[in-house]
Copies of this chain bind each other. A is one copy, B any other.
Amino acid sequence: MFLWLLLIAGPEVDRLAAMAGKHKVYLVMGVIERDGYTLYCTVLFFDSQGRFLGKHRKIMPTALERIIWGFGDGSTIPVFETPIGKIGAAICWENRMPLLRTAMYAKGIEIYCAPTADSRDVWQASMTHIALEGGCFVLSANQFCRRKDYPSPPDYLFSGTEDELTPDSVVCAGGSVIISPSGAILAGPNYNGEALVSADLDLGEIARAKFDFDVVGHYSRPEVLSLIVRDHPAKPVSFTSASKKPKTLTNSVWSHFALTNSQMNKSSKAI
């Protein structure tokens, strides 16, 4: 596990896509995206055929992050329909936003990815709750890193705690976990070091869970409570000639999900 790695443009995205294709995995990966001179906390999605599917930008950075990152808008809250299920992601404390989650539930999310930097116990409670609330599988990935994974001071300082750290001190403890729609822990949480956390997912469990509680179906009350999601791009300046320019993307090894096709046994019969 390394430092944030700021990359500038398309080549990295192409390499990630190629990796996903080579290993035949769906890859959902947190990166730092640069668009113009503003950075976004972003998740990239790749399919097992090596195609870049799209991205989610964190819509509200957390605490100090707000100094670094811009704010995503409603146009990058995707849920991708894939052969292994409908995949989307919310980043770190964004997972605490009930309206954002509801937007993804409404898009039919089945494989809910939650990259995070929060290794506290209470994070696990939220992951379990989201699985129950959304009737979906929750896959939360968190980095495991030690002091020595970062540059030595003074190049990099853990302000306030730097003096107490040895090279082997754990500075982020991991806790990656996979939870079923009924709240069962399928894998993890792993706090022991870098690891690949995996589980076979039976998508039929979603149907069984939603039979009891369908948050955007029979268990909603739309006449009383209705959420508006403004999902058009919000730009400070729009040009009526609307030329599309290619996006530049940057990434990091912040967090990642690697789902192999074999691990994802979609039992479509059950849906």
Chain A interface (Cβ within 8 Å of chain B)? Answer: 8, 35-39, 59-60, 62-64, 66-67, 69-71, 73-74, 93, 96-103, 105-106, 108, 120-122, 124-126, 128-130, 132-133, 135, 182-183, 206-207, 210-232, 234-241, 271
Contact = CB atoms under 8 A, between A and B. Distances in A.
A221 to B, nearest CB: 5
Contact of A238 (B132, B214, B226, B240): B226
A224 B58 CA distance: 12
Given A125-B129, A215-B97, A229 B220 contact: no
A234 B227 CA distance: 11
Nearest to A61: B66
Nearest to A211: B37
Nearest to A67: B63
Contacts of A132: 96, 122, 125-126
Contacts of A225: 59, 74, 97, 99-100, 103, 227-230, 236
Max chain B CB contacts within 10 Å: which of A39, A128, A207? A128
Given A36-B108, A63-B212, A126-B128, 4 more contacts: A99-B99, A224-B234, A229-B239, A231-B239
Contacts of A228: 225-228, 237-238, 240
Contacts of A206: 37
B218 A70 contact: yes
B128 A133 contact: no
Max chain B CB contacts within 10 Å: which of A106, A210, A222? A222
16 contacts: A36-B214, A71-B218, A96-B133, A97-B215, A98-B98, A98-B101, A99-B220, A99-B236, A106-B235, A106-B239, A122-B182, A222-B235, A226-B234, A226-B237, A229-B240, A231-B241
Contacts of A213: 62, 93, 96
Contacts of A69: 218
Nearest to A106: B237
Contacts of A182: 122
A149 B98 CA distance: 38
A129 B95 CA distance: 10
A236 B63 contact: no
Nearest to A241: B231
B126 A219 contact: no
B36 A227 contact: no
